[in-house]
Amino acid sequence: MGAAALLAGGSLQAQTDKREVRAGNRKFSKEEYKAAEIDYRKAVLKDSLSVAGEYNLASSLYRQQDWDGAGKALQTVKDIAPGTENAARWHYNTGDVALQKKDYASAVKAFREALLLDPGDLDAKENYIYAKLMLQNQQNGGGGGGGDNQDNQDNQDRNQQDQNQNQNQDQNQDQQQQDQDQQDNQDQQDSQEQQSQQQISPQQAQQMLQAIQAKEKETQDKVNKEKAAALKSRQKDKNW
């Protein structure tokens, strides 16, 4: 969901059954919005109070991203459209245009009216919530995502990078210290083993060798089992 929500229902069927409106509707359905706009303008010229003509003209202008033109067309029949059976859709589209123009206060009001008339319209409900959030952000100085927000985001990103860099440095230092400690321990063990070898008998040395070999085999068997289990797991996941 975002500010670029589509107009509800596309073009509205003509309430005054004019040839130009019907022609515009056919072109609108083919996504020929500029050609449809021309037909709707002809209909409005013939009947300045044509709700269908103005509503559909707004739809064609909206699809061409002419937000000001779409809003003007909707406002032309603001005293008539709310009293028709398509009032909820008129309010919805009025709110949609306001969203595009970042007029969040007007958008909130329009979507609220649409929901009062059609409480089951989930699109109107989502847009109403979105418009309220954007309005609060704007009132709090956010400006709907302006430069201040971007600067704050940039500062946050830089701070995060610094924190990550410091953390990596600390980790590297810790790892280096651990490696040094392990090396010192290994050197001490080697020294102790050399001293022990000088003091033990050949029979004791043979027993120690057998014990070491048994431990190595046990460790190797365990590693092989873990590898087999991991491979089995990957194959199972792959077959899903």
pLDDT tens figures, 172-186: 666 666 666 666 666
pLDDT in tens, 79-88: 998 888 889 9
Check residues 183 and 54 and name the one with the higher pLDDT. Answer: 54
What does the block give as tokens for 220? 């190797």
Helices and strands in the chain: count of H runs, count of E runs: 9, 0
The mean pLDDT of the chain is 75
The phi and psi torsions of 135 (rounded to 5 degrees) equal: -65, -45
- What pLDDT, on the 0 to 100 scale, is given for residue 223? 63
C-alpha closest to that of 28 among 12, 40, 11:
11
Does pLDDT of 66 surpass 80?
yes
Q: What gap in Å lies between CA 53 and CA 47, rounded to an integer?
A: 8
How many Å from the N-terminal Cα to the C-terminal Cα in the chain?
Answer: 32
Does pLDDT of 21 surpass 70?
yes
Does pLDDT of 111 surpass 90?
yes
Does pLDDT of 20 surpass 70?
yes
Q: What is the mean pLDDT of residues 79-104?
A: 92
* Contacts by residues 106-111 (CB-CB < 8 Å, ≥ 24 positions apart): 107/131, 107/134, 107/135, 108/132, 108/135
pLDDT in tens, 26-51: 999 999 999 999 999 999 888 877 88
